[in-house]
Amino acid sequence: MNTQDSGAAQDSGARATTPALLHTAAELDALRRPAGARRVVVMTMGALHEGHATLIRTARSAAGPAGQVVVTVFVNPLQFGEAADLDRYPRTLDADLAVAAGAGADAVFAPSVDEVYPGGEPQVRITAGPMGERLEGAARPGHFDGMLTVVAKLLHLTRPDEALYGQKDAQQLALIRRMVRDLNFGVEITGVPTVRDPDGLALSSRNRFLSAEERHTALALPRALFAARDRLAAQQALHERATATTANASRVAGLAALGESRAAADTQAVALARPSGGPAAVRAAARLVLDDASKEQPPLAVDYLALVDPADFTEIPDDRDHGEAILAVAARVGATRLIDNIPLTFGALT
């Protein structure tokens, strides 16, 4: 635990050992909010783990000693395509309360479906638009419409100054930011970096469904992302060398004539290095790892591997030589579907 986390834990311990458990909008409205205090919200579907605890600790720090941290726990039926997936999603409220308490939450809002959607599913919903039809939206039609609808409702119910979301769900975070901007929600949206287990696997409530063999295969997701990141760093370092050398065709020919084939090849690579590192090379490095994992037992079944613009989740063209990107992957191992991503910066010379 770092210093910031320690301070957050001390703040939470000084305030209350157990967060208030609220089930209705009326109880939430009655939650006393000190004058001038900052309210920060962390939205979850429960089954809390260390990734959620990191979000809550970050919220505790953002709210400050006088502020208020509210954690929502709600398994939203609108964002599940199949009833079986909804039924399978873990419900662990007692354990969630313990995690929330340890991380410094002041209140946990855990409403029923009837409380959030009185009278049944809402007739008016938020539409995610074109970004919501890509990647996860293509794999799970209607998922992002349901997600944005419940996020909008929970933002209205909790009325926070700031809401925190994990960067592991990068497309979700981008869509929430877009909704808040397009529809003038008066709330600050903050992304918190992905939390990983020591073996690299991104924390997820779905990880509990993996057998030991399936988890071994699933480690290909972070390995693929890290291989792509390393490939980009190597290519950009090579380009940096190119800017500091006078390598040219005649130098390559001269070295080759002397029999220094390896030196000649290296000099040519330096001379031709591009500042972008090459989006195609980045994709290829990740794809190689994923292809190997598809031959494992049990095998990895890839839904998508995409290098996208974080603003709209459209694919990055191969000639892109600068700017931000997200490399995202989704795959299944057995019956469990996992997602992961990392941010990348093209043209970032050291």
DSSP label at residue 298: S
What's the rounded Cα separation, in Å, for the pair 248 and 331?
A: 44
Residue 324 CA, distance from chain mean position: 15
What's the rounded Cα separation, in Å, for the pair 330 and 332?
A: 7
Of 61, 64, 68, the C-alpha closest to 2 is: 61
Would you say the C-alpha torsion 134, 139, 145, 149 has a positive or negative sign? negative
Q: Quickly list H helices, the chain.
A: 3-15, 25-30, 50-63, 83-88, 93-103, 113-116, 136-139, 143-158, 170-182, 212-218, 220-243, 249-257, 261-272, 279-293
What's the rounded Cα separation, in Å, for the pair 178 and 97?
A: 31
**97 CB contacts (<8 Å, ≥6 apart)?**
18, 19, 21, 108
Is 52 catalytic? The answer is: yes
Contact present, 318 and 346 (Cβ < 8 Å): no
Supply 59's token pair: 């919220």
Burial class (CB in 10 A: 0-12, 13-18, 19+), 306: buried
**264 CB contacts (<8 Å, ≥6 apart)?**
252, 253, 255, 256
What's the rounded Cα separation, in Å, for the pair 30 and 19?
A: 15
Q: Which of 23, 49, 52, 216 does the annotation list as catalytic? A: 52
Q: Which residues pair with 306 in a beta bridge?
A: 328
Catalytic residues: 52
